[in-house]
Amino acid sequence: MAEARLNLARYLLERRDALDPEWQTDAGTLIEFVRRNFTHKEFGVTVCHEQDEDKHTWGGVNSTYGAVLALYAKAIGSAELAGDGRQALNFTLYSVDAHTDVIYNYADALHAFAERGNQQ
């Protein structure tokens, strides 16, 4: 569902130089599909849910969403997507639900944000 598409986008971003000359279009298509079909607003923040039937914002998928947005935003230089990623990650801090992938997602996002510097 959403997580599989986001992790494929992450894979394309991480290996873009060696793997896929169309990485920007392909990753962007995957991310946009998730944004269109698996996100909703909670408390004014766009968050990601995993499936059509389960619209609960679990920390795992939402942190994956935030991390992949951060990585993609860094790769294409989008302050808007970086802001959306940061908001999703901030939201996840309030709902950490013991999924180990949350930690890895935060590490990826922090690395992406650190390299962007203080740009918004």
Q: What is the pLDDT of residues 83-104, one digit of tens each?
A: 999 999 999 887 666 566 677 7
Give the sign of the dihedral formed by CA 102, CA 48, CA 3, CA 66.
Answer: negative
Quote the Cα angle for 20-10-75, to 5°: 75
pLDDT at residue number 100? 65
pLDDT at residue number 111? 86
Cα–Cα distance for residue pair 51/53, rounded to 1 Å: 5
Q: How many residues does the chain have?
A: 120
Q: Across the 120 residues of the chain, what is the mean pLDDT of every consecutive 10-residue run?
A: 93 92 95 96 90 66 94 96 94 70 79 67
Q: Global pTM?
A: 0.78
pLDDT at residue number 78? 96
Cα–Cα distance for residue pair 27/55, rounded to 1 Å: 23
